[in-house]
Amino acid sequence: MATGKLRNLLEGLKPAMTMVIVQIIFGGLNIMYKLARNDGMSMKILVAYRNIFATAIMVPLALIFEGKSRPKLTWMIFLQGSLCGLFGGSLGQNLYAESLSLTSATFVAAMTNLVPAMTFVMAVFLRMERLAIGTIAGKAKLMGTIMSLGGVMILTFYKGVEIKLWSTNINLLHHGAAALQESSPNQVLGSLLAVASCVCIAVWLIVQTKMSMVYPSYSGTALMCVCASIQSVVYAMCTERDWSAWKLGWDIRLLTVVYSGVLASGLMVTLMTWVSRMRGPLFVSSFFPLMLVTVAILGSLLLHEQLHIGSIIAAVLIIVGLYIVLWGKGKEMKQTAQIHAAQSFSEQDLRHIVIENSSNSECKPEASGIIGPIEPADLGSGVPSAAAVSIQTASPTASFASYIVIGLSYKQLFSWYITWLVGSFGMS
């Protein structure tokens, strides 16, 4: 019994442990990007190679695990894959990499926590989600979004006193590269690019959620990587005319490309899709701040990045705002699920519903309707089959029973029942 409980505990911890590994890998990606940029590698070429390596690892996995079960590739799925490749691959990654080269790894990692707030703002403008300011959930989402945006403003324009947590003599970056991120124009431009990358990630999450409903994980990620590879290679070839910049050696450039392509864009995205399918997107988003902690520790230890009081305040505001938005969204989803559960019949209830009306002493007409077993063809349809509804009527007053359909809500059924009763007594 103890072994069974331990097995169940580990099984329940799988999604959480997976997301911890994912965020640590993404935190290391920020450090690798800074090192490759410091070595003189173009960010556009890095993104192109990243998507090429991701395609090389994901296409074989999709063919091996989903080759026989994969549904037919339609034009709509191809369009969704292209949009995922654009916003989650070529465009989003280029904006992210350029912002990282202009600022610090910790700065960009803090910005990524804006993704849930940006997704909420976009969903409201696109009328995909109601603001619902009169509810507690609506107020929480609005307040969390405002706090996150306030944290971004502080992170961009205020530094404050430097905080020295520990002192190491390790600095893998040159002093010139470290000085580059201190200038104010670069900081502002890097902030704008980071916000733009968050918008791209938010769009990608919306489209990717739609595509994952009709296309499996490995195949969807492979399609996204193929489209992103084509887009990013074309963009890099148009902007980088020096062919020697495309050469890879046994150095930090090759390591960064393999790390970002195979681990980050390939395996980690697949794991995030798996966890999102098991626990939902809110569960995945709640682990984003872990990457900020990872990057802050590694950046200060390896890159000699300086922490300031403004960065700490901004990070706290962004993370608190993130969890307030997630709490509000979770509460809203819970309320919606409760309402849907209260308004829908279970299949077991539909099998045993019996509606009867007895005639009085003046021999009023009698009607009874019995709903029988539900056939598969009835599910999701508006009209039941002959096997689903069996009706015996003695007069036109029993017409109510002939309109009972599969999937009626309690409210609809009660309303129709009252209407029928009024009609029955009105004919006496």
Find, among 124, 110, 123, 120, the residue nearest to 144 by Cα.
120
Q: Are strands 354-357 and 367-371 parallel, antiparallel or unpaired?
A: antiparallel
Residue 63 neighbours by CB distance under 10 Å: 14
Q: Is the residue at 425 inside a domain?
A: no
CA distance 314 to 317: 5
Find, among 69, 61, 132, the residue nearest to 332 by Cα.
132
Q: Are 384 and 352 in contact (CB under 8 A)?
A: no
Q: Is the residue at 10 inside a domain?
A: no
Q: Is the residue at 47 inside a domain?
A: yes
Q: Which residues are CB-neighbours of 48 under 8 A, at least 6 positions away?
A: 229, 232, 233, 235, 236
Q: What is the CA radius of gyration of the chain?
A: 29
Q: Is the residue at 212 inside a domain?
A: yes
How many domains in the chain?
Answer: 1
CA distance 188 to 294: 24
Q: Is the residue at 180 inside a domain?
A: no
DSSP 344: S
Q: Which residues are CB-neighbours of 11 under 8 A, at least 6 positions away?
A: none
Residue-by-residue pLDDT tens, the chain, 428 positions: 567 777 777 777 888 889 889 989 998 998 899 888 888 899 999 999 999 999 999 899 899 988 888 888 899 999 999 999 999 889 999 999 999 888 888 888 888 878 777 777 777 777 767 777 888 888 888 888 888 888 888 877 787 887 776 666 666 666 444 444 445 567 788 889 998 998 898 888 778 878 888 888 788 889 999 999 999 999 999 998 888 889 888 889 999 999 999 888 888 887 887 887 777 666 777 787 888 888 888 887 887 777 788 888 888 888 888 888 888 877 887 877 777 777 665 555 555 554 444 444 444 444 444 444 444 334 333 444 333 333 333 344 333 333 333 344 434 444 443 444 444 434 43
Q: Is the residue at 125 inside a domain?
A: yes
- Print the domain residue range for 67: 22-129+186-305+325-340
CA distance 199 to 203: 6
Q: Is the residue at 424 inside a domain?
A: no
Q: Are 144 and 321 in contact (CB under 8 A)?
A: yes
Q: Is the residue at 171 inside a domain?
A: no
- Give 143: exposed, middle or buried? Use CB within 10 Å, 0-12, 13-18, 19+: middle
CA distance 55 to 269: 12
